[in-house]
């Protein structure tokens, strides 16, 4: 495998890349973040450490690649800002947060407090990269008059921050009732302002 990597330079073997990402995700779920080392990933994927380091600069970037491959599919943004779409998106997110994906997010955020590489990888690979898509969706919703004119960054924080708060603090459950009330309150606050009625002459 390492010989093939040397012949190809930095070009990736799709099969080897898939094996590495699968191995990383499996280790994260089964063993936790601390035990998901480059050595463990290489052993499970059947590749050399050198092969991994040709394609990823450090352990954190491999972990983020594996996390994002699943996260992008499991946590899509809604296409529109109607009540049903927002509820469905937040409800899906709450369900995912109660499984392996939520455990990974909690572990990555916790690890990032002491590991700058993990913190940077999570912030740039997940938060900032994915927010670009979300910000564009919010801007389109504002342009179409679906929601009031507001800072798109604040709109995203209003929608998603409460779920991350419950995930990390654990003081209240990520229940369906919570999602329904949360979505209703946020959408009520974002509803377009009605034009003020003019006094009749």
Express each pLDDT in 50-67 by its tens digit: 999 999 999 998 998 998
Indicate the pTM of the whole model.
0.78
Listed range (18-22, 126-130, 155-159, 193-197) with the worst mean pLDDT: 193-197
Answer yes or no: do 107 and 51 share one domain.
Answer: no
Amino acid 14: pLDDT: 87
Answer yes or no: do 115 and 177 share one domain.
Answer: yes
Amino acid 151: pLDDT: 97
Answer yes or no: do 173 and 97 share one domain.
Answer: yes
Answer yes or no: do 135 and 172 share one domain.
Answer: yes
Backbone angles phi, psi at 114, to 5 degrees: -120, -10
Range of the structural domain that residue 33 is part of: 2-56
Amino acid 8: pLDDT: 41
Answer yes or no: do 125 and 172 share one domain.
Answer: yes
Q: How confident is the model at residue 195 (pLDDT cuts 50, 70, 90)?
A: low
Answer yes or no: do 29 and 99 share one domain.
Answer: no
Establish if 103 belongs to a structural domain: yes
User: How far lies 155's CA from each of 9, 121, 173, 181, 187, in Å?
Assistant: 44, 24, 23, 17, 10
Amino acid 11: pLDDT: 63
Answer yes or no: do 167 and 82 share one domain.
Answer: yes
To the nearest 10°, the Cα dihedral for 65, 71, 72, 76? -170
Average pLDDT in the 162-173 region?
A: 95
């Amino acid at each position: 495998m390492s010989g093939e990597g040397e012949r190809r330079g930095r070009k990736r073997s799709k099969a080897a890349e898939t094996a590495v990402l699968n191995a990383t995700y499996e280790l994260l779920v089964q063993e936790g973040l601390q035990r998901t080392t480059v050595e463990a990933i290489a052993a499970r994927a059947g590749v050399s450490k050198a092969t991994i380091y040709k394609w990823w600069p450090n352990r954190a970037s491999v972990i983020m690649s594996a996390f994002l491959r699943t996260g992008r599919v499991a946590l899509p943004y809604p296409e529109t800002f109607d009540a049903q779409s927002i509820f469905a998106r937040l409800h899906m997110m709450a369900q995912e947060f109660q499984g392996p994906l939520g455990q990974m997010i909690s572990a990555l955020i916790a690890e990032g407090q002491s590991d700058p590489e993990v913190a940077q990888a999570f912030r740039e690979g997940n938060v900032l990269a994915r927010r670009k898509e979300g910000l564009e969706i919010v801007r389109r919703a504002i342009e179409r008059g679906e929601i009031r004119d507001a800072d798109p960054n604040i709109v995203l924080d209003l929608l998603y921050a409460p779920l991350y708060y419950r995930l990390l603090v654990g003081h209240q459950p990520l229940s369906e009732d919570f999602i329904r009330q949360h979505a209703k309150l946020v959408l009520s606050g974002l509803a377009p302002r009605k034009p003020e009625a003019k006094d009749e002459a």
